[in-house]
Amino acid sequence: MTPQFATPKLNMDSFDPNEEQVQNSDNQNAIGDSTPTTKERTTCIWMAKTLMALSQKELHMQHQLLMAQ
């Protein structure tokens, strides 16, 4: 019996980098300050989640191909 994996749902339209999803006490970066802004952190988190979902989808497709042999 082949294990079933949930296919990740990617909704690119729902991403809004201006949305306050991550709380950051200091959004005003001084010149030379490497602390990421809320927008940068939110974008990074969204990209990481998207990459993880794509990786899971790729693993699922590889598993299906392997089982089909």
Cα–Cα nearest to 39, from 53, 49, 28? 28
Structural domain includes residue 62: yes
Structural domain includes residue 27: no
Q: Is the pLDDT of residue 61 over 90?
A: yes
Share of residues in the chain with pLDDT > 70 (%): 52
Structural domain includes residue 24: no
How far out from the chain centre does Cα 37 lie?
A: 18
Structural domain includes residue 6: no
> Which phi and psi angles does 22 have, rounded to 5°?
-120, 125
Domain that holds residue 68: 37-69
Torsion of CA 42, 47, 49, 53, to 10 degrees: 160
**Which is more confidently placed, 31 or 41?**
41
Its pTM surpasses 0.85: no
The total domain count for the chain is 1
Helix (H, G, I), strand (E, B) or coil at 33: coil
